[in-house]
Chains A and B, each alone.
Chain A
Amino acid sequence: MLPILLAFAAATIPGQSPLAIRAKTVWTGGGRVLENGVVVVDDGRIQSVGTDVAIPEDAEVLEHDGVLTAGMIALHGAAGAVGETRDGTRPALPEARVGLALDGRSRDFEELREAGITSILVTPDPSGITGGTTALVKTLDGQVVRDPAHLSLVFSSEGLSGNREPTSRPGALALLNALFAEPRGVVADARAGRIGCLFEVREREDIGRAIAFAREKKLRGALHGAGLSGELSEPIRDSGLAVILPVLGVGAPQRVLDAVARLAKDGVAFGFGLDAPWVHADSLRLSAALCVRAGLDRQAAWRGLTADAAKIAGVDDRLGRIERGLDADLVLWSGDPLDLSSSARTVLVGGKSVPMGGPAGTAKESHR
């Protein structure tokens, strides 16, 4: 099955005038930091960005004395699909689509969008050898950006069971090999490179097996869930796979944080997972901030939350940067977003303002 790209026009209210945001600092996510930058939004998309941009006459102008960025993309979670992401009855469910289990209007998304997370990769749980396919959804109005986004493949021990096949690593590998002999379906799409794979890994040994399998079957995608991925940064880089880090709490060992720095140094693209809704949405920024404190380059960390995350989700043609033509998923931060005392003041998803502070929308500043 080909991945379905739902290219709906973003949900800008018809007839609404363009919006120009003049921000003290703009992080475009493409490596540029603009002082006193202007971003013009119209029809749900970014029309222009720069320091010397013509503001349309009918535009509403918003002055922002802080940092303007693209919305963050969380790369792992069950938001909107709690209780629906695991079917452990069979060893393999490659065609199970978590995107079809989603409630796009779930309140799980409120916390995410108010924290500046404008999209999340919803993922099936590691179960058997594959629990199905992932979906990338926006956190406002349940808009599906990409479904299926990846085929989930389980290389961690979580896929093993005591009372159904597979119970063992060799058994799981035999099942995976049998699965990849399937001539049709999402597995064939993965084999042909039409869809990436999300390799569920936890330990370094899992990474070795996942890389070997990816190489043998010529698969692309990302390794999710191993804090020490960076200790294998060279073989990961050589495999062409990206890394999705697990949630790094305040207790994350120095060894893990050092490993993340090695990923950046060796040129491995990485993003951050968020086990939403069980982990608070601000943990996404916290993960990246801890890495910055341990020495990771600030912009590299931010790319992991935006531009590189969009690449890993296969949606960098629409999301992750502030660039002409991309979706107007924007966050106006009170200050540096990797400073945890900063907060999201205004969040736009597809140019549409997110009500802040819960249903009443009173606790925080809100734009239109």
Chain B
Amino acid sequence: MTFLLVALAALAVAPLPQDPEPRAWTIQAERVYTSTGRNLEKGLVVVSAGKISAVTPGAGDEDERPRDRLKVYAVTAGLVDAGVRVTNWSSVEQSKEVTPQLRVSDALDPFALDWERQLRSGVTTVLASPIDRNVIGGLSVVLKTAGPESIAARTLKADAVLRGSMGSDPSAGNHAASGRPTDFYSRRPTTRMGVEWEWRNAFFTTALGQNEQDPGRATLVAALQGKIPVFVQAWTTQDIRTAVFLREEVQARPEFASAGMNTPRFVIDAAAEAWKEPQLLARSQTPVILPPFPAGGRTRDNALMAWNVAKILKDSGVPFALSSHGSSDVADRLAMQAGYAMAGGITFEDALAAVTSTPAKLLGVDSRVGSLEVGKDADLVLWSGEPFQPGTRVVATIVDGVLRYEGWDAVQGAAIAR
């Protein structure tokens, strides 16, 4: 009894942080899109203790606890964006070109409005990566877009991906010294081949044990052994080819085999011109993440992104995910990307997979998120109509069982029963 009183007194002086507790919810929807291939017309998704506890057909007892019942047109799993860039120069350490060991999570701001923007567009899980200024920029982190006000508490998977880039981004701004160098930008790489050389140098020195003192070595070893996937930004055909050939070289050369470092896993990020090399990607079993569809047809690095790129990848058997890149442009929202990809010829199911289950698999978090299945995290998007259509709104977003976003019609009470 005394102990209980002491415990109560301790509670009284140290109130818990005012973070909403996960609540029990019953989402009643005309359409339940599960991302498992099994969809329901008129179904229920039941949530308790932050997890999905049931996905069933029917309408249940509609009078039961109306406060916990949300009625919407459609419900899907929370969207997953594996291509979010941290639009912050302080996310990448530019004093060196190769910084595999540095963590982008150390640069993230839990209070930034970007997370809420993602939430409003239905994205509940992201891979946040450093800005592509380094050849190998560091370790990306998978995190939820809502939750307690700390990055550590929102992290779903730390050190999830080793992040780097081919192409022109890592060499932009570097220059050959003319006279006395005044800063560290008088260095390589200044060209695409210089960028590729830095990758090759990092991999070979690791396999040959020539970088024992390098703080990034352990990360590079893990990447070459396939323990951490390597996400390589490559917009254009030649950069996609360069990345695939580099991996195939690592798989084939005896130096890597004898060191036990010949099984890297590559994912090509921002592969706008993947439609030109579907056979290469299929043969090498390299998944890709597509960048946002560009307004003028051309992306960064002057890559040409065809409208039917997703369709070509689908037909060729190349796994692909879609991404908004974390852009603040409303036309770049992830749900819009899925709609554009459907306009390019893929089915709703394929588009849904490309923004839920496929990116979850690429990130190795598919046991937790990416589909509506019993036992998975209660990350749900409630839609006013058919998802990915331009006129459809995100009515509400639930993360880990907590209602984190309500759209304007929810405030008016038109869609959500309170």
| B106 nearest CB neighbor, chain A only | A170
Q: In the complex, what residue of chain A is closest to B183 when comparing beta carbons?
A: A163
Is there an interface contact between B110 and A173, defined as CB atoms closer than 8 Å? no
- The contact string, 1 if C-beta is below 8 Å from chain A, for chain B 93-136, is 11100010111101111111000000000000000001000000
Q: Given the interface contacts A205-B109, A208-B110, does A171 sit within 8 Å of B183 by beta carbon?
A: no
The A-contacting residues of B in range 308-362, CB under 8 angstroms, are: none
Contact present for A170 and B110 (CB under 8 Å): no
How would you classify the secondary structure of chain A's contact residues: helix, strand, loop or mixed?
Answer: helix
A220 to B52, CA, bound (A): 43
Neighbour of B109 across the interface among A164, A203, A234, CB < 8 A: A203
Q: B92 contacts the other chain (Cβ, under 8 Å)?
A: yes
- Asked whether A204 is an interface residue with its Cβ less than 8 Å from the other chain, the reply is yes
Residues of B within 8 A of A160 (CB): 90
Most interface-central of B91, B106, B130, B138 (chain A CB within 10 A): B106
Q: How far is the CB of A139 from chain B (nearest CB, A)?
A: 37
Tier of interface size on chain B:
20 to 34
Contact A174 B215 (CB under 8 A): yes
Quick check: B111 and A168 within 8 Å, CB to CB?
Answer: no
Cβ of A209 to closest chain B Cβ, rounded Å: 7
Number of residues of chain A lying within 8 A (CB) of chain B:
22
Residues 201-227 of A at the B interface (beta carbon under 8 Å) = 203-205, 208-209, 212
Docked pose: A270 CA to B149 CA in angstroms: 23
- Distance, CA A81 to CA B276, complexed state (A): 63
The 8 Å CB contact of A167, one of B89, B103, B110, is B89
Across the interface, do B94 and A167 meet the contact criterion of CB distance under 8 Å? yes
Q: Which of B99, B111, B185 contacts A205 (CB 8 A)?
A: B111
B106 & A204 in contact (Cβ 8 Å cutoff): no
Neighbouring A residues of B111 by C-beta, 8 Å? 203-205
Q: How many A-B residue pairs have CB under 8 A?
A: 72
Given the known inter-chain contacts A165-B95, A168-B91, please indicate yes or no for A173 contacting B184, CB distance below 8 A.
no
CA distance A327 to B109 in the complex (A): 44
Contacting pair B183 A170 (CB below 8 A): no
Q: Which residues of A contact B215 (CB under 8 A)?
A: 174
Min Cβ gap B188→A in Å is 17
Q: Counting CB contacts under 8 A, is A18 at the interface?
A: no
A170 engages B93 (CB within 8 Å) = yes
Complex CA distance for A189 and B91, rounded to whole angstroms? 31
Q: Any chain B CB within 8 A of the CB of A86? A: no
The distance in angstroms between the C-alpha atoms of A205 and B91, with both chains bound, is 13
Q: Are B109 and A168 within 8 A (Cβ)?
A: no
| Contact mask for chain A residues 134-174; partner B; CB cutoff 8 A; 1 contact, 0 none | 00000000000000000000000100101111111111011
The verdict on A164 contacting B94 (CB below 8 Å), with A171-B102, A209-B106 known, is no
- CB contact between B91 and one of A162, A170, A212 (< 8 Å): that residue: A170
B:191-223 near A, CB below 8 Å = 215
Q: Does B179 contact A (CB under 8 A)?
A: no
User: Are B185 and A171 in contact, with the CB atoms below 8 A?
Assistant: no
Please determine whether B109 and A171 come into contact, CB atoms closer than 8 angstroms.
no
A165 and B110 in contact (CB under 8 A), knowing A170-B102, A170-B104, A234-B17? no
A281→B189 CA distance, assembly (Å):
51
With contacts A169-B91, A170-B99, A171-B102 known, what are 7 further pairs, Cβ within 8 A?
A167-B95, A168-B92, A168-B107, A169-B107, A170-B104, A174-B215, A208-B150
Which A residues are closer than 8 A to B by beta carbons? 157, 160, 162-171, 173-174, 203-205, 208-209, 212, 232, 234
